[in-house]
């Protein structure tokens, strides 16, 4: 067994020969020796010859013997990086963190660096996330950059001191993406909220990372020449574009406009060492080089920090109405949904609410109209004008009747459409209100996010309902037209472990039905084990290799999506 040796001279007239680990070190063997020069004296020519011979040996060995340093550890001669091949990441200590913060303050100003208890608590719990940091994992500082250049300067300093960084913006994520697992820095981009340019003729907009999708749509609606434009992805309230990109979010409009992957033209981002990159310029299509835009969408801040983005803008329909269709059985709902798509009807949204969710809707004061407690489809139908939309309405009605619908109601005015769809629009607040008043004041809601092929939707939903009979937990279902199901479960603090077990079983059942554990919320720290179950260990090891290529020190959002530390014993 050979090791490549490094000859290191020291001022004390000693040298050390450090042998790096070879494959044997993976079995727990570590090689290292340091000794001063001793023994008889040699002539200058003899010493020179010895050193020359030693150097030749080093040169030859470099071609055949791998050196086990960070570079080799991250890039062994394999296409994947299994977790067990890694050493634990090495992060800076308390002194390094304080030095790092002082340098950051000099660069961006004291007023943009916070560490009050209020700030720290705000960045560790949004009220919806079951994956919260433990006390020793909380961040130490929150930094607020104002530009791409600020982020670059911050990351150059952070890289120097090896401090872990968690990107953060709207804080609406549901799987622990924006929560720290190691005490370090949260980089909050919410102050980077400028709409830099709207290119009306190109149907795109250039935004800073901290722009909220609602703010963008409001801006467009108030500016002349832009009122008919919008961002098609309509996620949960408060979401910012960088977070939507990081999780490949979608929302109610995904049926028509797709997820963020379909709505991003290009991305400007900062890498772990502070390098600024742009994935491409502004063409609607490009085959120039790797699809780096696609690589960063859904990467959850583990590969780079998104700082600017060019998003596609959609043209609002000239006329739009809303239909509410109720069925005796959820299978009839899903059959109708499949028929709508096979018929080629361009629906702007199709949302499924089960009978339990409709009971919640009728309980709430947020909705003026009351419905039967039956499985229901809320459908947005839009087009160029009323004549075209009326034809679509006829088709939707006919398909619904062929699938045993009880009632079919559609809006005849914009006001009626707003009223009808408000039941779906306010669903989150409706559920929270119901849980607080009817279950327990300390009731929490676990929002799941599975998705299956459309043909498997009805059978999967039935299996999930049968499975949930094993648990005394209130639950209800919201589903998107792309077969993305949010099975929302209420639990009290003493029911947390029970609820977690149900959620894990639910995800595994979805995977068995050729689905995914996450349709739009992402993996974060809460679904890492499920991701490995879904995609396999080798696929995760390939992702890990990509991570190490761009972030060799493992500074960016550590411990999210998959494990990066062989000492990480968390089972999630």
> What single string gives the DSSP state of each residue in 175-214?
SSTTS-SSSSEEEE-TT---EEEEETTTTEEEEETT-BHH
pLDDT at res. 559: 97
Neighbours of 74 (CB within 10 A): 19
pLDDT at res. 73: 61
The number of angstroms, rounded, from the C-alpha of 387 to the middle of its chain's C-alpha atoms is: 41
pLDDT at res. 445: 94
pLDDT at res. 97: 98
pLDDT at res. 69: 56
Domains of the chain: residue spans and CATH: 195-315 (3.30.465.10), 319-513 (3.40.462.10)
- Name 394's Cβ contacts closer than 8 Å, sequence gap at least 6: none
pLDDT at res. 424: 86
CA distance 76 to 67: 10
Sheet containing 276-278, strands listed edge to edge, beginning at the edge strand earlier in sequence: 195-199, 204-208, 305-312, 264-270, 276-278
> Which residue, among 352, 360, 364, 305, has the nearest Cα to 460 in the 3D structure?
352
CA distance 384 to 386: 7
- Cβ atoms 184, 139 nearer than 8 A: yes
Could you report the average pLDDT of every consecutive run of 10 residues in the chain (572 residues)? 37 35 34 34 45 46 46 73 96 97 98 96 86 89 99 99 97 90 96 98 98 97 97 92 96 93 98 98 94 98 99 96 96 94 94 94 86 96 96 97 95 87 86 92 94 93 95 95 94 96 97 97 95 98 98 98 95 82
Neighbours of 567 (CB within 10 A): 9
- 66: phi then psi, degrees, rounded to nearest 5: -70, 140
CA distance 179 to 168: 8
- Name 349's Cβ contacts closer than 8 Å, sequence gap at least 6: 252, 253, 255, 256, 378, 379, 380, 481
Kindly list the distances between the CA atom of residue 215 and the CA atoms of 195, 210, 230, 231, 469, in Å, as whole numbers in the listed order. 9, 10, 11, 10, 42
Assigned token pair, 21: 């680990």
pLDDT at res. 70: 57
- Cβ atoms 408, 325 nearer than 8 A: yes
Buried b (16+ CB within 10 A) or exposed e, 167-185: bbbbbbbbbbbbbbbbbbb
Neighbours of 442 (CB within 10 A): 11
């Amino acid at each position: 067994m050979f090791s490549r040796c490094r000859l290191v001279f020291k001022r004390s007239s000693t040298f050390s020969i450090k042998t790096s680990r070879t494959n044997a070190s993976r079995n727990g063997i570590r090689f290292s020796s340091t000794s001063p020069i001793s023994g008889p004296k040699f002539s200058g020519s003899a010493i020179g010859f010895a050193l020359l011979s030693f150097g030749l040996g080093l040169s030859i060995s470099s071609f055949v013997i791998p050196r086990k340093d960070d570079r080799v550890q991250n890039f062994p001669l394999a296409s994947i990086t299994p977790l067990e091949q890694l050493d634990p990441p090495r992060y800076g200590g308390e002194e390094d963190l304080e030095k790092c913060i002082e340098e950051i303050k000099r660069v961006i100003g004291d007023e943009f660096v916070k560490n009050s208890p209020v700030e720290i608590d705000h960045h560790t719990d949004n009220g919806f996330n079951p994956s919260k940091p433990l006390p020793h994992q909380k961040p130490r500082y929150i930094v607020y950059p104002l530009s791409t250049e600020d982020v670059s300067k911050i990351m150059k300093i952070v890289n120097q001191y090896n401090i872990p960084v968690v990107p953060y913006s709207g804080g609406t994520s549901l799987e622990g993406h924006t929560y720290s697992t190691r005490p370090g820095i949260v980089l909050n981009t919410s102050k980077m909220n400028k709409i830099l340019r709207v290119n009306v003729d190109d149907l795109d907009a250039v935004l800073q990372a901290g722009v909220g999708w609602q703010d963008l749509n409001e801006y467009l609606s108030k500016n002349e020449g832009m009122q008919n434009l919008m961002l098609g992805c309509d996620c949960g309230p408060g979401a910012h574009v960088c977070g939507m990109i990081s999780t490949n979010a979608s929302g109610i409009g995904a049926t028509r406009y797709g997820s963020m992957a379909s709505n991003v033209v290009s991305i400007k981002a900062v890498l772990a060492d502070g390098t600024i990159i742009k994935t491409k310029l502004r063409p609607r299509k490009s085959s120039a080089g790797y699809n780096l835009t696609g690589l960063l969408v859904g990467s959850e801040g583990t590969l780079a920090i998104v700082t600017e983005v060019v998003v596609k803008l959609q043209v609002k329909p000239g006329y739009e109405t809303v239909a509410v269709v109720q069925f005796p059985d959820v299978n009839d709902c899903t059959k109708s949904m499949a028929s709508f798509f096979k018929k080629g009807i361009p629906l702007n949204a199709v949302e499924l609410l089960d009978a339990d969710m409709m009971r919640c809707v009728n309980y709430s004061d947020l909705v003026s109209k009351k419905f039967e407690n039956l499985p229901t489809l809320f459908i947005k139908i839009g087009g160029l004008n009323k004549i075209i939309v009326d034809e679509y309405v006829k088709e939707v009605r006919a398909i619904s009747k062929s699938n045993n619908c009880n009632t079919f109601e559609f809006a005849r005015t914009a006001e009626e459409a707003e009223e009808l769809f408000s039941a779906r629009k306010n669903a989150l607040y409706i559920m929270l209100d119901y849980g607080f008043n009817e279950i327990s004041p300390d009731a929490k809601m676990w929002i799941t996010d599975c998705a299956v092929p459309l043909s498997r939707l009805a059978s999967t939903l039935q299996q999930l309902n049968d499975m949930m009979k094993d648990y005394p937990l209130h639950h209800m279902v919201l589903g998107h037209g792309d077969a993305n199901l949010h099975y929302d479960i209420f639990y009290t603090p003493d029911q947390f472990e029970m609820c977690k077990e149900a959620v894990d079983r639910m995800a595994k059942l979805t995977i068995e039905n050729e689905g995914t554990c996450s349709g739009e919320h992402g993996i974060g720290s809460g679904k890492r084990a499920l991701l490995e179950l879904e995609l396999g260990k080798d696929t995760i090891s390939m992702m890990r290799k990509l991570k190490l290529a761009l972030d060799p020190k493992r500074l960016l959002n550590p411990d999210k999506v998959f494990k990066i530390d062989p000492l990480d014993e968390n089972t999630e």
